[in-house]
């Protein structure tokens, strides 16, 4: 086991931690940390009302103890309880742990503790942080540095998390709940700063920008901001150790989308190199710039990083292409107007002559309200819009900004409304060879894909 991981394990053992209980173990961030704790050799249990296939598989193989409900007794006997921001204070397992003085950690607190024993690369940003983090981990892994990494996404159904033998820990740093401010980093990366999760920032753009500035300012070695597109908050201009990727030092000489292959000739800091990735969308090229520049500070040349990215396979639900009924269906997690715009642009590049159908599940009423006009603009850009009920993510229905109002404002686009996700199966089955369907959203729309793929094979 690597020195960093050994030291972290020793610290956990000093606290006499043996069994870790995860409340909501099926969430991608929780699942990633649980996998790392398992690899460190500890006992793991967890509860989730909708456990994913991967976690269920762990339980079936005897790797963890899994409960499909939330009861106080599940936390009994645990030496440490871990929860996420999705878990409310009234959760019976959380309350039991507090009442019994069992050590309780927010997921980000445990990761921050782990980071004390590594050199940490943390990636944040409103959009693109998952893909960029995965690129950084891929480059370091392919270069033989054996990093540890903890990413809030999977690949082919397996969560992207690993305890490696190297000195680097690569983290996806979540800005949604300000937990990214807990990490002490060696290298901090920000993909962009747009506005999202504003309910957790007092609806203040100033606070949102200040938190990103603070995140970059925590870096001990270098902080890199991707300023190729979008604006840079003025607060960042005076940060220590700040390095910008912008048009003065980074240029795209030419680029093309040949089917699923993105090919480009680029210049960074005076160095010219080619990038070939089996992934769609120029926004992925911007993500690659940040990963490549990060790797320079680890000791990997830009040209070598670009070469290694040819084997990068992306992550689940980030413009992930599946064949259903012999027709392409794209599954994409994007839930912000800018992310949806990037997905549509990428799809146009891959299939320029096909009819584009977007099945959109809005995620959170608060987001729909805050970005309503932008949603109207971007959803008007597809050939056929299909809407399904909003995924509230625990929020009560907004009596004004809801699916009915969205349908009304998009009336000129003649959107189709499917009253349940189950109707998507039938919709997919009716598409012809000139159609491409995108399943867009961060809610449970992604789970429809597995059933549709199974049905198409019957």
How does pLDDT run across 169-216, given as a tens digit for each residue? 999 999 999 999 999 999 999 999 999 888 999 999 999 999 999 999
Report the C-alpha gap between 449 and 219 in whole angstroms.
39
Pick the CATH number of 118-311 from 3.90.700.10, 3.20.180.10, 3.40.50.2300, 3.40.1190.10: 3.40.1190.10
Predicted pLDDT of residue 394: 84
Per-residue pLDDT, 452 = 63
pLDDT in the model for residue 316:
85
pLDDT, residue 389, reads 94
pLDDT of the residue at 14: 96
Assign 2 a pLDDT band (cuts: 50, 70, 90).
low
Query: Any idea what DSSP says for residue 61?
Result: T
pLDDT tens digits along 273-293: 999 999 999 999 999 999 999
Q: Is 111 strand, coil or helix?
A: helix
Q: Where are the alpha helices (DSSP H) in 184-332?
A: 205-217, 282-296, 302-308
Give the pLDDT of residue 454: 56
**The pLDDT of residue 317:** 87
| Chain segment 316-336, per-residue pLDDT in tens | 888 899 888 888 899 999 999
Query: 53-62, 124-133, 159-168, 233-242: which has the minimum mean pLDDT?
Result: 233-242
**pLDDT at site 104:** 98
Strand pairing class (119-124; 158-162): unpaired
Least confident of 334-338, 361-365, 394-398: 394-398
Give the three-class secondary structure for 52: coil
Q: How confident is the model at residue 70 (pLDDT cuts 50, 70, 90)?
A: very high
C-alpha dihedral (29, 30, 35, 37), degrees to nearest 10? 120
Residue 458 has pLDDT above 70, yes or no: no
Q: What is the mean pLDDT of residues 342-365?
A: 94
Q: What is the average per-residue pLDDT within 144-160?
A: 92
Report pTM: 0.92
- Would you kindly state where each structural domain of the chain is located, as residue ranges? 16-106, 118-311, 320-457
Cα separation, 373 vs 378, in Å, equals 9
Q: Are strands 355-360 and 435-440 parallel, antiparallel or unpaired?
A: parallel
Q: Which of 259-263, 324-328, 336-340, 431-435 has the lowest mean pLDDT?
A: 324-328
Percent of the chain with pLDDT over 70: 97
Please tell me the predicted confidence (pLDDT) of residue 456: 55
Is the domain covering 16-106 a CATH 3.30.830.10 domain? no
Distance of CA 289 to the CA centre of its chain: 18
pLDDT at site 37: 98
Domain 320-457: top CATH class: alpha beta
């Amino acid at each position: 086991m690597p020195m960093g991981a050994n030291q972290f394990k020793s610290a956990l053992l000093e606290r006499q931690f043996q069994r870790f209980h995860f409340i909501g173990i099926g969430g991608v961030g929780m699942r990633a940390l649980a996998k790392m704790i398992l690899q460190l050799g500890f006992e793991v249990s967890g509860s989730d009302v909708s456990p994913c296939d991967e976690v269920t598989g762990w339980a079936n193989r005897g790797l963890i103890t899994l409960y499909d409900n939330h009861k106080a007794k599940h936390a009994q006997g645990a030496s440490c309880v871990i929860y996420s921001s999705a878990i409310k204070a009234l959760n019976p397992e959380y309350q039991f742990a507090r009442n019994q003085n069992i050590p309780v950690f927010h997921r980000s607190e445990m990761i921050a503790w782990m980071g004390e024993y590594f050199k940490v690369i943390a990636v944040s940003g409103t959009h693109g942080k998952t893909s960029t983090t995965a690129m950084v981990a891929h480059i370091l892994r392919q270069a033989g540095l054996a990093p540890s990494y903890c990413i809030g996404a999977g690949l082919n159904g397996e969560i992207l998390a690993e305890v490696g033998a190297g000195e680097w820990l690569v983290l996806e740093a979540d800005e949604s709940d300000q937990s990214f401010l807990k990490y002490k980093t060696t290298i901090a990366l920000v993909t962009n700063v747009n506005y999202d999760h504003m309910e957790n920032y007092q609806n203040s753009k100033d606070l949102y920008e200040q938190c990103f500035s603070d995140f970059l300012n925590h870096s001990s070695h270098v902080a890199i901001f991707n300023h190729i597109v979008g604006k840079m908050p003025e607060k960042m201009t005076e940060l220590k150790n700040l390095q910008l990727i912008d048009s003065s030092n980074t240029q795209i000489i030419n680029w093309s989308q040949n089917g699923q292959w993105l090919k480009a000739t680029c210049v960074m800091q005076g160095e010219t190199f080619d990038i070939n990735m089996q992934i769609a969308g120029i926004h992925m090229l911007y993500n690659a710039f940040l990963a490549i520049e990060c790797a320079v500070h680890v000791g990997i040349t830009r040209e070598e990083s670009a070469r290694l990215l040819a084997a990068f396979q992306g992550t689940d639900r980030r413009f992930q292409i599946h064949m259903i009924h012999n027709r392409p269906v794209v599954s994409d997690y994007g839930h912000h107007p800018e992310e949806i715009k990037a997905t549509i642009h990428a799809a146009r590049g891959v299939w320029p002559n096909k009819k584009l159908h977007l099945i959109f599940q809005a995620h959170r009423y608060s987001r729909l309200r805050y970005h309503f006009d932008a949603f109207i603009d971007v959803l008007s850009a597809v050939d056929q819009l299909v809407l399904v009920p909003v995924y509230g993510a625990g929020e009560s229905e907004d009596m004004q900004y809801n699916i009915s109002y969205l349908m009304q404002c998009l009336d000129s686009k003649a959107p189709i409304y499917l009253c349940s996700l189950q109707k998507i199966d039938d919709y997919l089955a009716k598409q012809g060879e000139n159609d491409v369907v995108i399943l867009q959203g961060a809610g449970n729309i992604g789970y429809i894909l597995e059933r549709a793929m199974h049905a198409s094979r019957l």
